[in-house]
Structure formats: structure tokens, C-alpha cells
A and B are shown apart, each in its own frame.
Chain A
Amino acid sequence: MDQQVDGSAGHPEARYGGAGRMSDATVAAHEQAAAALADFVPAANGFSGRDVPADDIFNRCVRCGLCLPTCPTYVETMVETSSPRGRIALIKSVAEGQLDMLSPGFVHQMSECLDCRACEAVCPSGVEYGKLLEPARTQINRALEQQRGPVRNFVRHLLLHVLFGNLAVMRVVSRLLWLVQRLGLQAMVHKSGLARLLGMQQMIELAPRVSDKFFVARDQRWEAKGAKKATVFLHGGCIMATAFAEIDFATVRVLQRAGCEVLAPAAQGCCGAITVHAGDMDAGRELAKRNIDAFERSGADYYVINAAGCGSTLKEYGHLFHEDPEWHARAVRFSAKVRDVTEFLDQIGIDENLGRIETTVTYQEPCHLVHAQRITQAPRNLLRKIPGLTLVEMNESSLCCGSAGIYNVTQPEMSQRLMERKAKNAAATGASCCATANPGCQLQVQAGLRREGSTMSVRHVIELLDESYRIADAVPAPATSRGTPATR
């Protein structure tokens, strides 16, 4: 080949004297490239209808690159396309018709992103990245619904709408899982090939040991201990209320002790985080309306949640109702009352009559607490209040563990890489317990540590506080289904 196309449109310097002079053949190649430019066919699939990523958000990105070193997928791959800045550029390109929304690279990047929001927390320009990603995923999903086979659409529907859309169904499924676990049938399920058939090997490996007793919101009311400071609406959650039900019960006890009357209205439902992150904002809106309505009727002062992932979604309900002024106003009022349980307890102050736990604890920061809600000190402050407990920081404590909602199902490879990285960082502290504040992280870090061969336990901050109160009261620990007290 005697002519080399070099991709530029007849640049003047090519003909200009002095250094950097290019040959005539190269200049001709420039012209050829210019012709290629003219041949470019605009993208066939673009954003449309509702939930279009907003140009006033992506145009705020000044491409400074500060987000890159904070992005888990960038840190792992070191490829610009897998960075927040790269993904924002791709979203902008689709919006401007220069890239097809269903091009493999775009679909992959929108899926590979963890939605951990680490980029958002450091962005000097205030780009609300989550508000670009979730609509972009929603756009892709709407388009793919027509292309996906009926079976895959049905499985997706089951997972996102039936399982997470209805807490009763969640409890039935969890009870089945509980039964399988108690009868020791996991190995059989694994071997039968059923797991592989459903593409859920990792999910089954990660499946928590389900609590014996579920937390079911049935309009209960628990009295405050001592002088009452507030009435709080406890959001029991879905995974939390079944797999980690004892954390919900512990949350009730710790809140009571902090002077809160605790309500668990039956009308509450799933927060919608899983559906919104997976790119189904329509389903997310229905779930949001149910919770807003339940809270307004409850008369509680605050809406308290012990799962960071749910908390960040609950605090961002306004974003779901951009095109609906009435619900938007209600959603904004609602979100202003939402508090993560650690944030809330740190604000109102806890009963400091805590029992001694001689142990070393490291803290894994849930992305949706540290990045999405910018809560870093509250959980640490609470942990430091426990006498005897030493808090040691791990490396990269705020780098995503790879759990990220259903990410470990959609992106198993990257999820595992991040899980191993997290487990190594946690294990390197030599702590005997890893505290966190989100069920997804709890499962993921536990699985990672197990794979590392570490015996470190993983507990919610609230569980440690609850244990400390029990020790103060000299009450024996209740038989928990997992049996991983920090003091072990």
C-alpha cells in the first residue's frame, strides 16, 4: 500500500513548510479521509420518548479526568471507554446521533458501569452521572425488549417486577431458598445444571443463609425507650427483611434505644433501586408512589432505611418524576425526610450505655452511602463509640466491591475481579470483622473473603451496636441463623 489514510480532513499544516511536513501521498490520504467523513451514516437507534439522558447534565462534563482514578471499572481495565468520562462521551455521542444506541460497545459500557457513583462524588463540575446512566439503560432496555426473546423478557419480568415488585413473593422465594439451605440441597441444585441453565451459578454461590424469621411489616409500632425524640417509619427492605431479617430487628431495637418510636407500615414496598439501576424507570415509579403514599399516611417524622442502596434511591425519587409535577413535588418532600440509619443515629445521638466488644473492625463503604449519599463519618462515628472496638481503615475502602445490585449477575467477570480486590484489601487489615451498611456489599464481601480463605466476619454497623447493647444488658445473644458474632 503506497498511500496511507491518516484520518484527517486535508489539514493545512500538511502543505505547510518546515517541520512536520508530510508527503503528497499523505496529503492525498487526508483528502480520502475527508471523503470517508462525508460517507458517515447517522446512527439508526437513538434516544427517544421519555427518560432521555439530559444534555444539560452531560454537557457539564469538562473532561478534566478527575473521575478516572476513582472508577472501579477504569482502575481494573485502564481503558478510557470503561471510565465515567468515556461513558459520558458515549452517551453524548448517542444523543447527538453519532453513535448507535444499540452498538455493542455502548450497550456493554452501560451494563459494565456499576452505577457506584464514585465519579459523581469527586466531580468538580457536579455532573450527576447516575441521572445519565439510568435513563440510558432505560432507553436500551426499551429498545432491546423488542429484540430479546420472549423467554428472556419473561425471566427479566419475573426478576424485576414480580420478585422485587412484591414483598410477599420475595418472602415465598426466600422461604424456598431457606428450605433448600436447611435441607442441605444446594449441592444438588448446583450439580443438577439448573443453576447453569438459569445463568445463576454466581448468584447461588452468593445467596445468603436466609434468616429463620423474616421481618414482615404489619403496621407494628414499637415504643421509644426513654424520652421520645422522633417517630420513624422503618423501611424493612426486601433482601434485608428476608435474608438479613435480624438486621431489621436489630435496627428496631437500636432505634428504640435512641429514643425513637418505630413504625413499620404494611403499605410499604420495595424501594425500586434494583429496577431503576437495571434501567426500568417505569416500574421504579410505581414502587416509588407506593412508598411515598405509605409515608404520607403514617404521620412519621422520618423515613429510616438500613440499606445504603435503597437509601440513595429513596433520596432521589424526585428524579423519577421529572415529567410529572404533582408527583415530583410529593417525591421531593418525601426524599427530604429519608435518612440512612447510620446518618440518623449519628445526628440524633445514641444511647451511649454500650457494652465492651474487644475486637478490630474495618469498614467497607457501600458506594450508595459514600458516593451517592456522601455519608462517610456517621458509620465510623457509631463504630468508634463501642468500647473496646478498634477501627482500622482498609485500602480503597470506598472502591466498589462489585456487588452493585444485580451486577454480579449481569457482569460476573468484572464483579469477581472487584470482589477479589475488596477481599484482599479487607483481609490485609488483619481485622476480625468487616463492618458495612448494605446487604449487597455484605453478601459480596462475605463471598470474597470466603474465597480468600479468610475467617473475617461481615456485619452491619447496626448489628455491632445491637450486640454491644446486649453485652451491656448482659443478655445472652439470641440464636442467630448465621452465628457470626464479631467477638468470636
Chain B
Amino acid sequence: MLHSAPLPARLLDELRRILPRPGAVLDAREDLMVYGYDGTWYEGFPQVVAIPDSAEQIAQIVQLANRERLAVTPRAMGSSLSGGPVPLRGGIVLDTKRMNRILEIDEVNFLAVVQPGVINADLQAAVERRGLFYPPDPSSMRQSAIGGNVAENAGGSRCLKYGVTSDYVMGLQVVLPTGAIIRTGGKMVKNVTGYNLRALFTGAEGTLGVITEATLRLLRKPPFSLTAMAVFASIADAARCVTEIMSAGLTPCALEMMDDVTMACVEEMFHLGLPVEREAILLVAVDGGQRELVEAEMEAVSGLARAAGAVEVRVAADAAESSALWQARRGISPALARKRPNKLGEDVSIPRSEIPRMVRAVRAIASKYALTIPLFGHVGDGNLHPNILCDRHDAAELERVGAAAREIFEAAVACGGTLSGEHGIGLLKKQFIELDLGSEQVEAMRRIKAALDPNGIMNPGKIFPEPGGVGAFKL
């Protein structure tokens, strides 16, 4: 979108009274045009950008917006992969990243109280300096903020063993769409007083309120870990191996897969010596508090991998070797980004038992539409990231990408899976949500939304589908 109508002067003045800090209210065209995107290729155009420093200021801004029926789109680092921070109805982009203080690290209760603009990796570093551990590790952890992590219920590699963001949210401070400030949950481990609203706001993608503070559970940092790479001649064997490791009751902290297409892309870029002639590799990490147990678990994992047909299992001898293996994993996204101008990163999540079937489906879709779709992901928890490589300025190709994306969603649902494991629905998948949840469940969600946000001001246009259903899907 090129342009939106300017905000009336009286509203700008009112915003400036709420946010007196110079530069806290931006309305120049140059500023508005850079607050309309995220990590997808969707774009919007707000009428004004508000950069508050406190929950109280946010409450006043939301009250103003609710009175004037202005859309409010919360945002922190804008690294979303589903379109969450894209302002679709003009209005106010509410940028929370100046609120970036770690308010408390409580070593007795094992928790941290943080503002929404704190970057995930900064929180991890701060708690690890005290021997503590915040497990959720989205690949974007160096550039994504806790506010967005909570809003999208972000995951990551370690979620296989340790769970996703919502498993760590003990309490939230939220500004409701009507401007009230509430606190839900807190430092207590057990808490069944009333509805579990903190679970509702976690993963609500900013459609039910603005997260202004989070109380997050911490663990003791596990002192021992081991990493191994298992090489498979057939991707079907790799997929079966995952099922066997998990059904044996082992709990690796990460279990990642890369297929041959992915390996070839990574190898071309980084020359790490990956076995590109093989169909797939698995990367496995195990961790824990006792060396012997960690070693025994790795032994068991390696044995299962060999039994499942691994042609090679290489356990990293030291930290340097294991870091080299994870470098290959971290190199995937950069390598794919350089392969073609654009990539559409999918995020389907399926029951682990269905991994072989989903892998076959993605391969068939790639060949049907003549597209390159590297397949990798957090295979241990069933969360796969088929990435469709393309040039979005090539209209014919983009049409095939759209059709392939749609078939991938449909295949995931057919496998008993879901559209998104960790990125959120946002704009990218909203046309498919009824396919997954059914219209009655979506209607129930709409009623929750309407109850909390009667004027529909909070991050409008996300999650819920446009008329036309799947047929109206466009990239």
C-alpha cells in the first residue's frame, strides 16, 4: 500500500500529549512506510507510529484508539513470519521495543520479569550468566523480542524437550482493547483462580490486547550436552528413525532434519562437508545434569539410528565439533535466502507418527509444481519447515507457489496436523484456518474476540479469514 490518509491534527496532538518524549509520535511519510512490514512480504501503511515507554501510556493510547475506532497494531522487532505486525487498517502502529528492560531475575522462584521489547537472546544471556536457562529458542532469537515471542507463542529447536513459550509464561500484564490494564497469573506455580487468561493472550497474535510485561519461568542450565549427526541414504529411514527415538521414551533436547535439497543449499554456501549425496541427515542433541546419563542417552539414540538404517552416526567429540554441526543447522535460512530471491517459509506441525507421510506429500507437491522445496525442521516434535523457494516478481511462478502452499496446508491437516507450529496464523494462513479448526470453532474464537474487543480495533485483519475461504488465498 502506498499511502494512507493522515491522522487529524487533534488526534496527533492528543497522542503527543500522551507521549511527550520527542520522537515518540511519528507521522512523516518516511517513518510510516517502514512501520508497515515484517519478515514476510506483506506490507501495510499506518497513519501514525506511537513509541511508548510504559504500560500506562499504552493504556491511554488504546483508550484513544477505542474511542476513535482506530486500528492498533502492536509491534516489537517486526521479525514475524506470518504478518502479525503488518498494519492492515492504517491506524496506530504501537512500537513496544523501547520497553526493553529485564525488570527482575528471581533466583529463588526461578523466574524473570521482563518488558516486551527485551530481545530473546539478551534474556538468555542474562539468565545464563547466573546459571539459569530460558529454553524457548526461536531461530530469530537474536532479533526477536519477548513481546512478539509471547504474542506468537514462539517455539524453537529446544522445544522438543523443554516446551514452547506458553510453557514458560507464568504471568502477563496486558492492556485490553478497551484500555484497562490487567495482570493475569504471576509468580505462583499453581494458580487456578478464574479463567487462564495468560494462556489465552499467549499466541493471540496481538488481537486481544497488548502485552506490556511477562513473568517467565526459568530452569537450571543443564551442564552437560552432546550432539550427533546421523546420515541416512533414504529420507524415509530418517523419518522412521525419529518416530523410533521418540517412541522409545528418549528425550533429546533437539532433533532436527535436513533433506538433500537443504544440504545442497547449505553446502554450496558454507562448504561444511555435509553428506550431500545422501537423502537426509538428523542432528540430535541430548543434555542433562549428569554426564553418565547424557552419554547413555546419546548411546541409545545412536543405536536406534543405526538400527533404523543410518549409514553413519557421528558423535561430536568436543564443543567445537558440536558447534560446527549446529552451524550447519543455523546456516539453512541464510543459505536458502541466497539461493533464490524469496522463500515462503512454511511451518506445519503434525503428529510425529505422520512424519514419513508428510515428507512424501511435500516431495510430491514440489515435483507437481516444479518448485524447489527444501524440507527441514524440528522433526522431533513434528514441526516441519518446507520452504518454497521462488521469485515473487515472477507472476507465473508465484501462482504455482500459492497452489503448492495450499496443498501443503491441506496435506498437514489430512495428516491430523495443524497449519502452524510456531509462526502463527497472521495473514499468511488465515484463509485456511477453517479448514483446520472448522467454522464453529473459528466462530467461537470470533466471539471471544468480540467480547474483549467490541470495536475490532486490536490488530484487525489477522487470524480470521476473509470471505471466500481458501479460494481467496493470495500471496
Residues of A within 8 A of B (CB): 1, 4-9, 11-14, 16, 18-23, 25-26, 30, 32-33, 36-37, 39-40, 59-60, 62-69, 77-81, 83, 85-86, 89-90, 93, 98-99, 103-106, 109, 124-126
**Segment of B185-193, B285-293, B441-449 in the binding face:** B441-449
Contact B3–A6 (Cβ < 8 Å): no
CB-CB under 8 A for A5 and B5, given A18-B443, A63-B37, A89-B33: yes
Residues of B within 8 A of A63 (CB): 37-41, 78
Q: Is the CB of A8 within 8 A of B4?
A: yes
Given that A7-B46, A19-B456 are known contacts, is A81 also in contact with B31, CB under 8 Å in the complex? yes
What B residues does A90 contact at CB under 8 A? 30, 33-34
Whether B450 and A79, one on each chain, are in contact in the complex, defined by CB atoms closer than 8 angstroms, is no
Contacts A/B (CB < 8 Å), 12 sampled: A1-B8, A1-B10, A13-B461, A20-B450, A21-B450, A23-B69, A60-B338, A62-B39, A63-B37, A90-B33, A103-B29, A125-B337
Query: In the docked arrangement, what's the CA distance between A14 and B90, Å?
Result: 13
Q: What chain A residues lie within 8 Å of B7 (beta carbons)?
A: 5
Residues from chain B with a CB closer than 8 A to the CB of A33 are 4-5, 90
Q: Decide: B88 and A8 in contact? CB cutoff 8 A.
A: yes
Report the minimum CB–CB distance from A118 to chain B (whole Å): 13
- In the bound complex, residues from chain B placing their C-beta under 8 Å from that of A66 are 79, 140, 142-143
- A20 surroundings in chain B (CB, below 8 A): 446, 449-450, 453, 456, 460-461, 464
- Judging by beta carbons under 8 Å apart, are A81 and B30 in contact? yes
Give every chain A residue within 8 A of B132 (Cβ-Cβ). none
Is B466 located at the chain interface by the 8 A CB criterion?
A: yes
Nearest CB on A from B359, distance (A): 25
Do residues A21 and B456 form an inter-chain contact, with CB atoms below 8 A? yes
Known: A6-B69, A8-B88, A19-B447. A36 touches B39 (CB 8 A): no
> Cβ of B260 < 8 Å from any Cβ of A?
no
Q: A4-B70, A19-B449, A22-B456 are in contact. Are A37 and B1 (CB under 8 A)?
A: yes
Chain A nearest Cβ from B292, distance in angstroms: 35
User: Which residues of B sit under 8 angstroms from A77, Cβ to Cβ?
Assistant: 23
Q: Are A6 and B91 in touch, CB under 8 angstroms?
A: yes
Contacts of A85 in B (CB 8 A): 34, 78
Which of A7, A80, A93, A106 is in CB contact (< 8 Å) with B78?
Answer: A80
What residues of A have a CB within 8 angstroms of the CB of B78 in the complex? 63, 65, 80, 85
B449's nearest neighbour on chain A, judged by CB, is A19
Contacts of B31 in A (CB 8 A): 79-81, 105
Sample of 16 further A-B pairs with CB below 8 A, known A26-B69, A36-B3:
A5-B5, A5-B90, A7-B45, A19-B447, A20-B461, A33-B90, A36-B5, A37-B2, A66-B142, A80-B78, A90-B33, A90-B34, A105-B30, A105-B31, A124-B334, A126-B334
Known: A18-B446, A125-B337. A4 touches B68 (CB 8 A): yes
CB nearest to A5 among chain B residues: B5
Decide if B71 is an interface residue (CB 8 Å cutoff).
Answer: yes
Interface set, chain B 4-55, CB cutoff 8 A to A: 4-5, 7-8, 10, 23, 26, 28-31, 33-35, 37-41, 45-47, 51
Interface residues of B in 269-327 (CB under 8 A from A): none
Q: Are B39 and A64 in contact (CB under 8 A)?
A: yes
Per-position 1/0 for B363-402, Cβ under 8 A of A: 0000000000000000000000000000001000000000
Asked if residues B443 and A93 are in contact (CB atoms below 8 Å), the reply is: no
- Bound complex: CA of A115 vs CA of B460, how far in Å? 38
**Once the chains bind, are A19 and B450 in contact (CB under 8 Å)?**
yes
Does B57 have its Cβ within 8 Å of any Cβ on chain A? no
How far does the Cβ of A113 sit from chain B's closest Cβ, in whole Å? 13
Interface string of B46-76 (1 = CB under 8 A from A): 1100010000000000000000111100000
CA distance A86 to B38 in the complex (A): 11
- A40/B2 contact (C-beta < 8 A), A7-B45, A65-B39, A125-B337 known: yes
Residues on A with C-beta less than 8 A from B71 are 6-8
- Complex formed: what's the CA distance from A177 to B144 in Å? 49
Q: List, in ascending order, chain A residues with CB within 8 A of B446's CB.
A: 18-20
Max chain B Cβ within 10 angstroms of own Cβ: one of A18, A19, A32: A19
Are A62 and B337 in contact, CB atoms less than 8 angstroms apart?
yes
Of B8, B26, B37, which one neighbours A79 at CB under 8 angstroms?
B26
B310 to chain A, nearest CB (A): 30
Pair A36/B142 contact, Cβ less than 8 Å = no
Which residues in A have their C-beta under 8 angstroms from that of B337? 60, 62, 64, 124-126
| B346 CB-CB contact with A under 8 Å | no
B240 at the A/B interface (Cβ < 8 Å)? no
The contact of B333 among A4, A67, A124, by CB within 8 Å, is A124
Chain B interface (Cβ within 8 Å of chain A)? 1-5, 7-8, 10, 23, 26, 28-31, 33-35, 37-41, 45-47, 51, 68-71, 77-79, 87-91, 95, 97-98, 100, 117, 119, 140, 142-144, 333-334, 337-338, 341-343, 393, 443, 445-450, 453, 455-456, 460-461, 464, 466-467
Give the docked Cα–Cα distance between A13 and B333 (Å).
Answer: 34
Closest-CB distance, B406 to chain A (whole angstroms): 19
Chain A residue at minimal CB-CB distance from B31: A81
Bound: A1/B10 CA distance, A:
10
* Contact assessment for A12 and B466 in the assembled complex, using a CB-CB cutoff below 8 Å: yes
Across the interface, B455 reaches (CB within 8 A) one of A12, A22, A37, A59, namely A22
Tell whether, in the assembled complex, residue A109 and residue B30 are in contact, meaning their CB atoms are under 8 Å apart.
yes
Expressed in whole angstroms, the minimum distance between the Cβ of B439 and any Cβ of chain A is: 10
Determine whether the beta carbon of A6 is less than 8 Å from that of B343. no
Which A residues lie within 8 Å of B3 (CB)? 36-37, 39-40
B4 with A36: CB separation less than 8 A: yes
Q: Would you give the shortest CB distance from B173 to chain A, in whole angstroms?
A: 21
User: How near does chain B come to A112, taking the closest CB pair, in angstroms?
Assistant: 12
Contact A126 B450, beta carbon cutoff 8 Å: no
Q: Are A80 and B35 in contact (CB under 8 A)?
A: yes
CB pair B69 A11 closer than 8 Å: no
A309 to B237, CA, bound (A): 53
Hey, which chain A residues are within 8 Å of B70, CB to CB? 4, 6
Residues of chain B within 8 A of A7, CB atoms compared: 4-5, 45-47, 71, 87, 89-91
B123 CB to nearest chain A CB (Å): 13
In this complex, the member of B143, B144, B342, B393 whose beta carbon has the largest number of chain A beta carbons within 10 angstroms is: B143
Min C-beta distance of A111 to chain B, whole Å: 13
**Which of B10, B40, B41, B456 has the most chain A CB atoms closer than 10 A to its own CB?**
B456
Q: How far is the CB of B129 from chain A (nearest CB, A)?
A: 13
Task: Name the 8 nearest CB pairs between A and B, nearest first.
Answer: A7-B90, A105-B30, A7-B4, A124-B334, A19-B449, A20-B456, A18-B446, A19-B450
Bound together, the chains give a CA A56 to CA B461 distance in angstroms of 31
Q: Are B8 and A8 in contact (CB under 8 A)?
A: no
- Of chain A, the residue at the smallest CB distance from B333 is A124
Across-interface contacts of B450 in A (CB, < 8 A): 18-21
Closest to B393 in A: A59
Q: Do A78 and B39 touch across chains, with their CB atoms under 8 A apart?
A: no
From B122, which residue of chain A is reached at the shortest CB distance?
A69
A9 to B8, CA, bound (A): 18
Given contacts A13-B464, A23-B69, A65-B39, contact A98 B2 (CB under 8 A): yes
* Complex interface: chain B residues within 8 A of A5 (CB): 4-5, 7-8, 47, 90
Chain B minimum-CB-distance residue to A103: B30
Q: Across the interface, do A65 and B143 meet the contact criterion of CB distance under 8 Å?
A: yes
- Which residues of chain A have C-beta atoms less than 8 A from B142's C-beta? 66, 69
A64 partner, pick from B23, B33, B34, B143, beta carbons under 8 A: B143
Which of A8, A25, A105 makes the CB contact (< 8 A) with B89? Answer: A8
A457 and B464 alpha carbons, distance in the complex (Å)? 61
Can you name the residue of chain A whose Cβ is closest to the Cβ of B330? A124
B468 and chain A: residue at smallest CB distance? A12
Q: Name the residue of chain A whose CB is nearest to the CB of B87.
A: A7
A61 to chain B, nearest CB (A): 10
A351 to B288, CA, bound (A): 47
Query: Does A64 contact B51, Cβ atoms closer than 8 Å?
Result: no
Contacts of A36 in B (CB 8 A): 3-5
Task: Give the distance to chain B from A226, nearest Cβ to Cβ, in Å.
Answer: 35
Among residues of B, the one whose C-beta sits closest to the C-beta of A92 is B33
